[in-house]
Structure 1
Amino acid sequence: MVKVVKMKIREIGILCCLLIALTVTSLAQTSWVETSGIAPIDNITPQQARQQALKSARQLAIEQVCGIKIQAETMVKEQILAGDFIHAISNGEIIGEEILKEEVLIEQADSRLAPNLTYKVSIKAKVRKMAGDPDPNFRIDLQLNRTAFQDGDELVISVKSSMDCYINVINITADDQAILLFPNKFSKDNAVKAGATFQIPSEQSKASGIALKVGRIPGHKTDSEIIKVIATKTPLDMYSLLSLSGDFGEMGTVQTALKDLIMTISRVPMYQRAEAGAMYEISGP
């Protein structure tokens, strides 16, 4: 949960997996598939295991439709991008999803030992093959001032691009909310110069008393959260295009925001956009 000093902002949360990556709709081919994913509940919370199981189910769905093998190195990079939004890996993306069943599997071979618990999620996913290829020279470097926070710590987001571009920074919260952090009511110029580090909040904003401070959801010991950046070579201002309200763009639940995001980003060809994501955790005493 992130709170803005001086300006109130909904929390910056997540779950464990998803991203915002879209394609040219008119050239896309879509298919519905059903898959299941599992994850052991071993030294992690059931919520974290659920997100890992979802990630696995999504990757299998894309693999079935696109006929590709997702490499381990790709998943390491993309694990922070999976979630209840749109998950894109290689040449496929999930643009619709329904949770069919969730369950905790219990296996105990020896009554003297603790049982093994596994989280299983079954989904029905709509997968779209992505048209075109991304520009390998268009890269986004996203850095947070840390990856592990305590309640009340300040969050600072830094973005650097290999090309001149326009950025939109989205927050996927632990309570299933989507928030457009930037651009916003107070900072609307989202142009970034190649090689320059763009900071949110800016030094000017910080000097005026604005800060992003993290906090857990009440009752949670730990929350895992992500920041997602979408960069485009041509101007794209989601705050204005989506007619968002509030100091920051509160987009509603992930499911509510998904349709608007797809319609907005799908107009941008793959070679004109780049993405990055960063995950962090918030804990407390």
Structure 2
Amino acid sequence: MTRALADVLAANIHQYIVHTPIAPGTRLPERALAEQFQVSRSPVREALKRLAAQAVVAAHPDGGYAVAEAVMPAAAAASEPETGDANEQTYLAIAEDRLAGDLPERVTENELMRRYGVTRAQLNAILRRMAQEGWIERRPGHGWMFQPVLTSAETYRQGYRYRLLIESAGILEPTFQLDRAALLRCRAEQEVLANGGVRTASPAVLFDANSRLHETIAACSGNAFIVDGLRRLDRLRRLMEYRKAVDRDQAERRCREHLTLIDLLLTDQREAAADFLKLHLHNAVREKTSD
């Protein structure tokens, strides 16, 4: 189970509690929530643990969890920033400023702390995430250096054309071997998004879930160059994806297309899956470059 799946499911359960509404003290059976969101009980259990840490739910005397006595009302929940916390907002602000050319190639932690009004601990957490994602690295001795990313509409389109060349071809490679367990994990993640999670997920959560699926399929190809090429491209295009306004209807449709693609692969319809993936990518680039 991925961290992103638990994050999205926790947000969905929170919205479900405040919008239904469910009275404080009401028990939340794992089985019922699993059926509600069409996932297994394991991610429900993890999501409830996260909500307990946020005081949205509390331990029930008979086991499991119940709605906490003071859950944020629906109006307040709806007014929360989509990103969910201050670190996410700062992370996205840095991404936007970097794409806009408002940040130099080399920066220091003190400069970033002053510019974004964060503590050193907050900034360190954000910088670790950025470094793990491959768009910044620590300079020897002092400061940080941003790595190259896609910054223009044309290079963004070129990235999709490159994906059209390699991703569907990877499915037809003679070395292709399905990683069923990994693909089923991706399927559970996409189901949560398609069943409402896409409405509240941050751009980063959406990008991570969707790129994880495409990279999982590329890894099944058995061709190291295909999966390495896609991973490199994903690092380059990450910030461009964050910058684009999220059309929730389009995003939900793409998640449902992902489910179709996964099911074609799980039933060993590789040629049909390759053709469907081409159509999926054509649709995505048309929607994302139409503005």
With structure 2 as the length reference, what TM-score do the two structures score? 0.23
Larger Rg belongs to: 2
Tell me which protein shows more helix as a share of its residues.
Answer: 2
Q: Looking at secondary structure, tell me which structure has more strand per residue.
A: 1
